[in-house]
Structure 1
């Protein structure tokens, strides 16, 4: 197995630059997730590592090898795509072993490798079936099995679950996490779904417009984001943002008492205030906000509030009966749960 290092990786299409000088190290055996909105460059960066897109500048190393100019077949990677790309006329076993067959691997070795991958992925009962007789989750497991039999140094996943329904997505997330623990390979996984990123990753790389915004462990990014973009992207429901102002070492928000937030001391001027839905306490009988909509999910409810100044907030409530829509409420914020960001740049203000 091998780690991956990108140094100043750039991708251009003619005059248009879509990946901007990415520096990144992924340790041997690490599960790294590239996450970001559509068009942020995460799939392009993955394809550059795979060799499916040429690297315009910079270098890519897999282990000790500089693979920047190598063909995909020479890089020691296997890629699992969003579409399963299975041959409909072949059985599961034939699909999984086809790449080895094309490389002239002996039949006995192919059979042994297919059997080993099948056991890992619980596909033994389906080896004689053709893809049309499989569910979406089973087809995706076959596509992963096809990658496993190649024995790659690195597995690359390009939004592999986006074609599955919600229940299968959860099931396959568990399967992929279990697979990583079992074989211990270096894996890079691309998704726009931050829940997948949080639940699967050892390391998350947050991308925006072809640039790396922040790299870190899931809880590190959740608890200590560097900017408004990361704070709003990591966490579900998203963090709330309010316009505030720092005066006399405290944060002033419309309708709330001054908050002595860490990071406010010694500063003044406009600020963006971030607070997560579960860190807001409602005060029934108060005012300043109106409950516009309630979503009750059983064990938890989400209330969507509108302030007198037009601001909007999402608040997480517990199992108690949710407050009725149309009810005026007040709210309170714990100063140590509030994050501050520069109003102009969006960068985090730390104490």
Structure 2
């Protein structure tokens, strides 16, 4: 078993606390992604799993072993960093086998493990090349291969795709997903890109300011966010947030002067709320006159219309099909009422029916 369990994990730098009592269980063979904005503590938490950062308080387990105070080399983990960190004077084969050579493994064992990693990562044609003769994506595959040959219990990825261009990032996402499917190891992956998180993860851990905001499967977080932060962070483009008031008939979206039916009317009448609407759950009504089309971002099969209300609130709407709005046009909006989210303006917590 190679799952990872954290009990009340705290990290302090002097008097400054950056990780606040993390409790988390990552199952054996699970692909878990830590996601959140810069400074949320995701890389620090990953480095604590690796043993590169000392745990101030709490316990860290990998499988049945308490690794809280173990050295990184004794934890059974392998880490792939943002930078490739390859030895420029060594070939691909030598780079991948270097760690095993340093640990005095037999040559035939090293050759077999390098060959297997090369097969998995499709590097057979590049084994005799040096890093300078490789593309960025190929270098990152070599870095991953170096981790594979060690046979770790847990793979750790610290924003491994951030130095690649957009096309290579997509390619490497597919490679990493395929790698996980083939070897079935426990993987923990850090990224600030929620698209990477949604496409790769079995489980997503959303972090903010050193605390867990929500844990769940990608579509669970997308469809059922616990708070405004998670709702706004998961999904691209981000969820629209508008001021509203609950009335007897439903929730009135103040800037649109429209009331949408909701199950919260009655006892909540008069309560101020923040209304969340995803761009794909809104439909433009060309015959309406509620908002102005400020900008249209056309991406081919889909467009995003950026609308402005009279109060200056911005609303993003996804459009598909051949008929799309143009800049300066006045339009109306219709809603998928079952896809409307309400949040408390003060606590930012979800208000549920």
Offset at residue 259 of structure 1 (A)? 1.6
The alignment partner of 1:282 has SS state of: strand
Q: Displacement of 1:253 after TM fit?
A: 1.3
- CA distance in 2 between partners of 1:120 and 1:200 (Å): 18
Aligned to 2:8, the other structure's residue is in SS state strand
Is the Cα contact below 8 Å between 1:298 and 1:319 reproduced in 2?
no
Partner of 1:119: 119
State the distance in 1 between where 2:266 and 2:183 align. 49
Q: Which residue of structure 1 lines up, in the alignment, with residue 240 of structure 2?
A: 240
Q: For the Cα contact (< 8 Å) 1:2–1:28, is it kept in 2?
A: yes
Cα distance in 2 for partners of 1:223, 1:285 equals 30
Alignment of 1:140-179 (within 5 A): 140-179=140-179
CA offset at residue 264 of structure 1? 4.1
Structure 2 equivalent of residue 258 of structure 1:
259
Corresponding residue SS for 2:290: strand
Instruction: Write out aligned runs for 1:172-191 (5 A).
Output: 172-191=172-191
CA distance in 2, matches of 1:74, 1:143: 20
Change in Cα spacing, 1:274 to 1:185, as seen in structure 2 (3 Å) is: same
CA distance in 1, matches of 2:2, 2:249: 49
**Residue number in structure 1 paired with 2:135:** 135
Take 1:263 and 1:147, find their aligned partners in 2: how far apart are those partners? 52
1:322 to partner: Cα distance: 2.2
- Output the CA distance in 1 between the equivalents of 2:318 and 2:248: 31
Q: Secondary structure at the match of 2:260?
A: coil
Q: Residue 250 of structure 2 contacts residue 264 of structure 2 at CA under 8 Å; is this kept in 1?
A: no
User: Runs of 5+ in structure 1 lacking a partner?
Assistant: none
From 339, 342, 353, the counterpart of 1:340: 342
Asked if 2 retains the 8 angstrom alpha-carbon contact of 1:304 and 1:315, the reply is: yes
Using the alignment, how far apart are the partners of 1:102 and 1:342 within structure 2?
Answer: 57
The alignment's TM-score, normalised by the length of structure 2, stands at 0.98
The alpha carbon displacement at 1:265 in A equals 4.7
User: Shift of the alpha carbon at 1:256?
Assistant: 3.8
Instruction: Quote the residue 1:291 is aligned against.
Output: 293
Structure 1 residues 264 and 52: CA distance shift in structure 2, 3 A: farther
Tell me if the contact between 2:282 and 2:317 (Cα under 8 Å) persists in the aligned partners: yes
Q: Name structure 2 gaps, 5 residues minimum.
A: none
SS of the residue 1:316 aligns to? strand
List aligned pairs for 1:197-346, cutoff 5 A: 197-248=197-248, 250-254=250-254, 255-268=256-269, 269-346=271-348
Contact 2:249 2:259 in 1 (8 A): no
Alignment correspondent of 2:351: 349
- Give, in whole Å, the separation in 2 of the partners of 1:6 and 1:265: 43
Kindly report the root-mean-square deviation, in angstroms, between the aligned alpha carbons of the 2 structures.
1.0
Query: Could you say what secondary structure the match of 1:323 adopts?
Result: coil
Deviations 1:293-339 (A, max 9, x none): 00111111100000001111000011223211001111122321100
Contact 1:242 1:311 in 2 (8 A): yes
Deviations 1:184-234 (A, max 9, x none): 000000000000000000000000000000000000000000000000000
C-alpha separation in 2, matches of 1:4 and 1:154: 8
With the length of structure 1 as denominator, give the TM-score of the two structures. Answer: 0.98
**How many pairs are equivalent?**
351
Q: For 2:41 and 2:210, how far apart are their aligned partners in 1?
A: 5
State the match for 1:77 in structure 2.
77
1:262, CA displacement in angstroms?
Answer: 3.2
Q: Distance in 1 between matches of 2:265 and 2:50?
A: 45
TM superposition shift of 1:257: 3.3
